[in-house]
Amino acid sequence: MSHAEPPPILISDVQQTLARELERIAPIIDELGARFSAAGHELALVGGPVRDAMLGRLQEDLDFTTSARPEQTEKLLKGWADAIWDMGRDFGTIGCRKGEWTVEITTYRSETYDPTSRKPDVDYGTSLVADLQRRDFSVNSMALTVPERGFEDPFGGLVDLANRTLRTPGKAEDSFSDDPLRMMRAARFAAQLGFEVAPDVVAAMTAMADRIQIISAERVRDELVKLICAPYPRRGLALLVETGLAAHVLPELPALSLERDEHHRHKDVYEHSLTVLEQAIDQEDRLSPDGPPAPDFLVRFAALMHDVGKPRTRRFESGGVVTFHHHDVVGAKITKKRMKALRFSNDQIDAVTKLVELHLRFHGYGDGEWTDSAVRRYVRDAGDQLVRLHILTRADCTTRNQSKADRLRRAYDDLEERIERLSEEEELASIRPDLDGTQIMEILQIPPGREVGQAYAWLLELRMEEGPKTEDEAKAALLQWWAAR
């Protein structure tokens, strides 16, 4: 399962993995290190790439830190890099591409936030150790000087890596005051790496949670996406809720922890939603049948948000029954509002809200009352989100009653088989009327206008209800409808 416990980390394994990864990137680090050293500058591979090299998950992005100023870095890269860019110059960063590698080189720096500002003040630093001290966590405060490949770990990052622990190099309060987004990153790394967060870091996150409000919605959104698409999202989300950060960035999540009493027992909606998220992750291979499964934010976020309408729609009925009528529709509206606040794209908002709104549609199918027309409407309403809706609907079954779970699974198997059969017969994915607008105007002898649209809509409903017709049958039905008007 994608959310199983992470494997243990042995320092001997870390050392072997690091040595293997360094050989893979040797052409880059050796050549760059030699160029900077010859010019009298220090250069070190730093932060995430060092950590990921130790974990065997290094990608093609390499981060370096240097004593050279940006203009000196740019000069040294000319003639070596395939392409150079300087969008990060104001932050001391020059980027380049060399073959398959993307390289960013940043001057030693220190960075602090004004309590009323969203933008950091950047000051250049003078030493590697001072640069490492200003980084977010000890596992990201390790460096490898090049070309000599000296390992620098002044804050115990290697031990923390082996212990699967996230700590800050200095006081957590100072780190989060410098950049409050680091609190979100703590949760994100917990989700990505399966690490525990040190108690003092959790305490600082809890005490300073409201400080996240000075960070732009876009930066918060990006961290949230990375967290949700990580291998262990439950860990990160639980940390956001525990520390109170979620109350500021995704308040709908802690709101799912509905209070219960001895007379009104019902499923814990918060825990249920996290379980649905994990069960959706287990089905992501359906979205990439021709390759390895990839994290899919849309289906994961829909799974997390599918029941956010329940707190607002909860009603206590006689006999201790709890109802959540129309929580699907209400939840879709809440989801849309939250995603807009987090600056998601319209396409992402439309996809997730559609899934939230449709997640209950399947219920009732097991009674065997769905006609072919109902199946066609299910497919039409899902549109290009049909496979994600299949995943979400199946994931939403968290009952411990095995016979009920088996019954629901068989019913959905049957629905998917009917969809596949009808799709082969009728091309359900692109369902449209049997006559187009031009034919409608010719048959009814009318010009373009509102009446053509009305006729088209009527023919589409006829197609949904009765299935495909021949052109002659559709023409006769259209004329009959027109005369009856």
Does some domain include residue 262? no
Mean per-residue pLDDT for 275-285? Answer: 96
Does some domain include residue 475? yes
Within 10 angstroms of residue 411's Cβ, the number of other Cβ atoms is 18
Say whether both 308 and 397 belong to one domain: yes
Does some domain include residue 257? no
Say whether both 185 and 153 belong to one domain: no
Within 10 angstroms of residue 201's Cβ, the number of other Cβ atoms is 24
124-151: b (≥16 Cβ within 10 Å) or e? ebeebeebbbbbbbbbbbbbbbbbebee
Who wins on pLDDT, 76 or 363? 76
Q: What whole-number distance in Å separates Cα of residue 250 and Cα of residue 2?
A: 23
What is the β-pairing status of strands 165-166 and 196-197? parallel
The 10s digit of each residue's pLDDT in 336-354 is: 999 999 999 999 999 999 9
Within 10 angstroms of residue 406's Cβ, the number of other Cβ atoms is 11
When mean pLDDT is compared across 17-26, 279-288, 408-417, 423-432, the lowest value belongs to 423-432
Query: Residue 225 sits in a domain of what CATH number?
Result: 1.10.110.30
DSSP labels, 218-272? HHHHHHHHHHHTSS-HHHHHHHHHHHT-HHHH-TTTGGGS---BTTB----HHHH
Does some domain include residue 261? no
The 10s digit of each residue's pLDDT in 181-225 is: 999 999 999 999 999 999 999 999 999 999 999 999 999 999 999
Domain span including residue 450 = 437-484
Q: What whole-number distance in Å separates Cα of residue 309 and Cα of residue 238?
A: 20
Does some domain include residue 270? no
Could you say which of 108, 142, 160 is where a domain stops?
160
Does some domain include residue 243? yes
Mean per-residue pLDDT for 243-268? Answer: 78
Q: Is the pLDDT of residue 99 over 80?
A: yes
Does some domain include residue 143? yes
The 10s digit of each residue's pLDDT in 367-379 is: 667 888 888 889 8
Q: Is the pLDDT of residue 84 over 50?
A: yes
Say whether both 199 and 53 belong to one domain: no
Could you say which of 160, 194, 229 is where a domain stops?
160
Say whether both 183 and 122 belong to one domain: no
Q: What whole-number distance in Å separates Cα of residue 359 and Cα of residue 409?
A: 15
Does some domain include residue 329? yes
Q: What whole-number distance in Å separates Cα of residue 167 and Cα of residue 164?
A: 10
Say whether both 103 and 205 belong to one domain: no
Who wins on pLDDT, 255 or 118? 255
Say whether both 291 and 410 belong to one domain: yes
* Look-up of token digits 């250049």: 124
Residues with Cβ within 8 Å of 348's Cβ and at least 6 positions away in sequence, in order, are 297, 298, 339
Q: How many helices (H) and strands (E) does the chain have?
A: 23, 13
The reported pLDDT for the residue numbered 380 is 85
* Look-up of token digits 């010019």: 39
Say whether both 389 and 245 belong to one domain: no
When mean pLDDT is compared across 348-352, 385-389, 472-476, the lowest value belongs to 472-476
Q: Is the pLDDT of residue 112 over 60?
A: no
Say whether both 449 and 325 belong to one domain: no
Say whether both 12 and 142 belong to one domain: yes
Within 10 angstroms of residue 434's Cβ, the number of other Cβ atoms is 20
Could you say which of 415, 430, 445 is where a domain stops?
430
Q: Is the pLDDT of residue 293 over 50?
A: yes
The reported pLDDT for the residue numbered 121 is 62
Q: What whole-number distance in Å separates Cα of residue 433 and Cα of residue 459?
A: 5
Question: Percent of the chain, pLDDT > 90?
Answer: 64
The reported pLDDT for the residue numbered 245 is 98
Number of domains observed in the structure of the chain? 4
User: Please, which pLDDT band fits residue 426 given cuts at 50, 70 and 90?
Assistant: low
Say whether both 444 and 344 belong to one domain: no
Say whether both 419 and 454 belong to one domain: no
The reported pLDDT for the residue numbered 1 is 47
pTM of model > 0.95: no
Indicate the average pLDDT of the chain: 90
Say whether both 191 and 81 belong to one domain: no
What is the identity of the amino acid at 349?
A: I
The reported pLDDT for the residue numbered 264 is 45
Query: Residue 56 sits in a domain of what CATH number?
Result: 3.30.460.10
User: Please, which pLDDT band fits residue 262 given cuts at 50, 70 and 90?
Assistant: very low
Mean per-residue pLDDT for 37-55? Answer: 96
